[in-house]
Amino acid sequence: MNNIKRPNHIENYLVSLHDGQWFGFKNLNGDDSNKVYANLIIHDDSKTKPTEQECIDGLAQLQSDFDTAKTNAITKKASAVTKLKALGLTDAEIEAL
C-alpha cells in the first residue's frame, strides 16, 4: 500500500471490471482532459458499457475501500507498536524492526 495511489478517476473503476483493453476514450488529443464518461467507448463487443452512475458508484467504492485499508494499516501498526512497548522494547528497538 506504500506506493499505491488512491483511485481518482472512472478509468480506475473501468480497469477493475475486465482484463485487457476493452474500453477507451474517443477524441483524445494527447492529454487526459477528454477521459470523461461522454467519450467512453467499448472496444470489446462481449462487454457492455456501464452506466455513468455505475462508474461514479464504482469509483466511490474503490476510494472507500482504499481509505479503509489505509486506516486499518495505520491502526494495526499503532497496535503493534503498543504491544512491543508493553513487552519492554524501546522506540529505537521498535524502529530498527
Average pLDDT, the chain: 92
- What's residue 32's pLDDT? 72
> For residue range 28-62, what is the model confidence (pLDDT) as tens digits?
676 777 889 999 999 999 999 999 999 999 999 99
In single-letter form, the type of residue at position 43 comes to H
Residue closest to 63 by CA, chosen among 6, 1, 11: 6
Mean pLDDT in residue range 64-74: 96
This prediction's pTM:
0.78
Asked whether residue 2 carries a pLDDT value surpassing 90, the answer given is no
> For residue range 9-26, what is the model confidence (pLDDT) as tens digits?
999 999 999 999 999 999
Instruction: Answer for the pair 95, 80: CB distance below 8 angstroms, yes or no.
Output: no
Instruction: Answer for the pair 49, 40: CB distance below 8 angstroms, yes or no.
Output: yes
C-alpha cell read off for 41: 467507448
DSSP 83: H
- What's residue 33's pLDDT? 77
